[in-house]
Amino acid sequence: MILKGYNQFLRDIFGKLENLKIDVRSYELDHIAYQASSDEDYDTLLPEFEKICDLLSEEVVGGRRVGIFKFKQPLVFENYSIPSVELIAPKQDQICPSALEHAEFVIDTDFDTFLKKYPAIDWDTSDVDQKDFPMIKLKVGKGLQVKFHLESVLDIVEKIN
């Protein structure tokens, strides 16, 4: 399976969050994201994802293709059932490996309240005012990010489509 390393990837993410004392236990683990290394890699991976998922949306976001998929059978990690996955093409001139890249959680409060819980963390708030998918981001390691948003990607895709 294309996502066979997802358990270790999520253990790494959760370990980094635990080290930062960011408590995500009450939040929905909305989806994980796989970064393709090139447009050709994205095209090769697309049918692999379609074996285990249904493609719900494919849009150009920030100059690159982003596919949103709903798993035919949700991925399970500890007490979480993960309903969806993103496949992301690289931005122009971006050099990156083909690998799992981030996990996203739906928070149960507004961004200001959430950020006040963790004032010592250097959050990336550059996408807080993004129209369709506002979020806050945090790099937790080389090639690893965690993102927090206000509603699930599946709900957002449903609204947009």
- Domain assignment present for 63: yes
Instruction: For residue 82, tell me if it sits in a domain.
Output: yes
Q: What is the pTM of this model?
A: 0.92
CA distance 32 to 145: 10
Q: Please state the rounded mean pLDDT for residues 64-72.
A: 95
Residue 79 tokens read as 């007490």
Count how many domains the chain has.
1
- Range of lowest pLDDT (4-13, 90-99, 127-136): 90-99
- Domain of residue 79: give its range: 6-160
Flag whether pLDDT at 159 surpasses 90: no
Mean pLDDT of the chain: 93
Residue 67 domain-assigned (yes or no)? yes
In a domain, 1, yes or no: no
CA dist list (Å): 126 to 37, 52, 106, 133, 134 = 24, 33, 18, 12, 9
Burial of 103 from C-beta contacts in 10 A (0-12 / 13-18 / 19+): buried
Nearest to 105, CA basis, from 153, 139, 59 = 153
